[in-house]
Amino acid sequence: MRIATRSSKLALKQVDIFTNNFKTQDIDFEIKKQITEGDKKSKKGENLFDKAHFVEDLEESLLNNEADIAIHSLKDMSCHDTRGLEIYAAIEHPSRSDVLIYKDKIDLDNLKNIKIGTSSLRRKRQCKHFLKNDNCSEIRGNIDTRLLKLHEEKYDAIILAKAGIERLNLNENYIDLDFLPAIGQGIIAVQCRSNDKKTQTLLDQIKNSELLQMIEIERKIVRDLNATCNSALSISSKIYDGKCETNMEIYGENEIISEKFISDLNSIDESIKIVVNKIIEKGGLKLLDENY
């Protein structure tokens, strides 16, 4: 099985997590490390680019039959499937939350004025609304690069996904943030060609249909709102007993729109339609336009 992946430490760790799911299977894995356009832009310090640039080069390897699967961080992916490709399996980390990684000297009881590093509009708006902190600065690069900038005292704290910190077993000071996560945060996406039945048969061994259904529910909401993975939007869903419970928030500069619904899975499309209409009636599209 040929695996296309980014070459960062976290990306390679996610490949390890994937391959370890096949410990009892006799499968030869070939790891094809790539430096994506997103990696190049991030290294140059560019800030305003679509996260799809972390994904497209890996997808090209699939489409050109140079790889059998691609391993992605789901939150980097578009909510629209690329023609000829699909997310066929996924692996979820126990936590999808954000953490605030901080230097020893900061006062955790007063986070209003500290300098926080984050490149995410969602996280900037959450800091403003929930921490009363309007002192967020752009930070780019992989986890190691961001931690180096923190320890070089360019920031008092930075925000990262807890999944990445735990997957890499990093020893840092952090507190959990009670923020709703980005769409797909903490989830490893396993993508393959839609017509590659041989690879799909192998992936069936780790396929979690309930998780894939949850992912598609969240992606459908994003599509129906005409939002993107860069939007100041959070969605968190869970499926249990044939039902789906979903919480979502849209963050404007001065306003938050929140919605929640619980739906039977057999009527989920209608429930999504209802909640999207509620968000639109509340001015959600206008808030999403503030992102740009």
**Residue 72's pLDDT band (boundaries 50, 70, 90)?**
very high
Same domain, yes or no: 256 and 151: no
Q: Do 251 and 278 lie in a common domain? A: yes
pTM: 0.93
Q: Alpha-carbon dihedral of residues 144, 150, 152, 156, nearest 10 degrees? A: 180
In eight-state DSSP terms, residue 93 is -
Q: Does residue 182 lie within any of the structural domains?
A: no
Residue 197 and residue 216 in one domain: no
What is the structure's pLDDT at 230? 83
Q: Which residues contact 5 (CB under 8 A, 6 or more apart)?
A: 11, 12, 14, 15, 31, 32, 33, 34, 58, 70, 71
Look up the domain containing 129 and give its range: 98-177
171 domain residue, yes or no: yes
* Predicted confidence (pLDDT) per residue in 173-218, tens digit: 999 999 999 999 999 999 999 999 999 999 999 999 999 999 999 9
- In terms of domains, do 72 and 198 share one? yes
User: What is the pLDDT averaged over residues 25-37?
Assistant: 86
What percent of the chain shows pLDDT beyond 70? 93
Helix (H) or strand (E) holding 171: none
**In the prediction, which pLDDT does 260 show?**
97
Q: Which residues, 6 or more positions from 43, have their beta carbon under 8 angstroms from its beta carbon?
A: 141
DSSP-derived 3-state class of residue 112 = coil
Does 106 share its domain with 172? yes
pLDDT at 42: 62
Q: Mean pLDDT, the chain, as a whole number? A: 92
Which amino acid, residue 40?
A: K
pLDDT bracket for residue 227 (50, 70, 90): very high
Residues 200 and 87 in one domain: yes
Where is pLDDT greater, at 41 or 192? 192
Predicted pLDDT at 47? 53
Q: Total domain count for the chain?
A: 3
Q: Is the same domain home to 150 and 263?
A: no
**Secondary-structure percent of the chain, ordered helix, strand, coil, rounded to 5:** 35, 25, 40
**Whether the predicted pLDDT of 26 surpasses 60:** yes
Task: Say yes or no to pLDDT of 118 above 90.
Answer: yes
Question: Given the DSSP bridges, would you call strands 2-6 and 30-34 parallel, antiparallel or unpaired?
Answer: parallel
> Is residue 216 domain-shared with residue 285, that is, in the same domain?
yes
The number of CA neighbours under 13 Å toward the Cβ of 162 is 17
Question: 126-150 pLDDT, tens per residue?
Answer: 999 999 999 999 998 889 889 999 9
- Across the strands, what pairs with 246? 237, 261
Q: What is the pLDDT of residues 254-285, one digit of tens each?
A: 999 999 999 999 999 999 999 999 999 999 99
Whether residue 55 is predicted with pLDDT greater than 60 in this model: the reply is yes
Whether residue 57 lies inside any domain: the answer is: yes
Same domain, 75 and 121: no
| Between 115 and 119, residue with greater pLDDT | 115
pLDDT, residue 15, reads: 97
Q: Residue 280: what pLDDT?
A: 96
Residue 153 has pLDDT above 70, yes or no: yes
49, pLDDT greater than 50: no
Largest interatomic CA distance in the chain: 55
